[in-house]
């Protein structure tokens, strides 16, 4: 069976995707609900709308990608978000992951280095009436010092090495999840603060993310 059967309704595709994610280990009910209620077709370019409920990454503007739903689920689950949490996300992209986080956290701060992507994401947040997202155009590698410390930090672009500047903006018992590595395949890592200034580091899986680049984009 192909992933996208033209006779399927969007609801059938969505239900199949959610069941698939659950069987792959995204088991936290709140995370599955957040994925189920975030309309991914709103975040994908017109050309790929038919494929919005497939479990694959898809191209978006500026040569970037909207992440694969399984990876979004896995990273969100690894963050173990409590309802009162303030979460920082680096790499807004389409805003899909941001929207998922906004259904679980009290406040989500998100940083993007392309103005075009940020503007489009902001319009989607408005359309979906997600009022707990605060956006910024800038270099996310520096974090958001003015709003720090954060309960949780999620990096959705590959950091070349341990993101020290971001770890410094995490609360002592906070959690940071990020793809780490310079090549086309990186390691998804979870850093859990031990409450005393140290971190317990855990390897989650191999992933493929676009790189975390320095500075803001000159193009739109």
CB 100 within 8 A of CB 54: no
Q: Is 53 in the site for ligand SAH (CB under 6 A)?
A: no
Q: Is 156 in the site for ligand SAH (CB under 6 A)?
A: yes
Q: For residue 129, give both structure tokens.
A: 């009436």
Q: Which of 23, 27, 67, 161 is an active site residue?
A: 67
Q: For residue 211, give both structure tokens.
A: 């790189």
Q: Is 210 in the site for ligand SAH (CB under 6 A)?
A: yes
Q: Closest distance between ligand SAH and the C-beta of residue 32, in Å?
A: 17
Q: Is 157 in the site for ligand SAH (CB under 6 A)?
A: yes
Q: Is 77 in the site for ligand SAH (CB under 6 A)?
A: no
Active site annotation includes 161: no
What is the Cα–Cα distance from 220 to 212, expressed in whole angstroms?
17
Among 94, 102, 135, 169, binds ligand SAH (CB under 6 A): 94
Among 65, 68, 80, 132, binds ligand SAH (CB under 6 A): 65
Which lies closer to ligand SAH via its Cβ, residue 100 or residue 170?
A: 100
> Residues in the site for ligand SAH, rule: CB under 6 A?
64-67, 90-91, 93-94, 96-97, 111-114, 117, 139-141, 156-157, 210, 212-213
């Amino acid at each position: 069976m192909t992933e996208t059967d033209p006779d399927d309704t969007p609801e059938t595709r969505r239900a199949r995707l959610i069941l698939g994610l659950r069987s792959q280990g995204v088991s936290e009910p709140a995370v599955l609900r957040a994925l189920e209620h975030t309309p991914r077709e709103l975040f994908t370019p017109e050309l790929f709308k038919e494929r919005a409920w497939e479990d694959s990454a898809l191209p978006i503007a500026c040569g970037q990608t909207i992440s694969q739903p399984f990876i979004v689920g896995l990273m969100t689950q690894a963050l173990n978000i409590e309802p009162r949490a303030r979460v920082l996300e680096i790499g807004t992209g389409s805003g899909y992951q941001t929207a998922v986080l906004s259904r679980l956290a009290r406040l989500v701060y998100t940083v993007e280095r392309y103005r075009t992507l940020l503007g489009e994401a902001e319009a989607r947040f408005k359309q979906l009436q997600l009022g707990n997202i605060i956006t910024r155009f800038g270099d996310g590698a520096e974090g958001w010092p003015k709003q720090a410390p954060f309960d949780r930090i999620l990096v959705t672009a590959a950091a070349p090495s341990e993101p020290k500047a971001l770890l410094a903006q995490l609360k002592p018992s906070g959690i940071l999840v990020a793809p780490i590595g310079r090549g086309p395949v990186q390691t998804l890592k979870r850093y859990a603060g031990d409450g005393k200034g140290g971190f317990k580091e855990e390897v989650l899986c191999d992933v493929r993310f676009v790189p975390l680049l320095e500075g803001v984009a000159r193009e739109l």
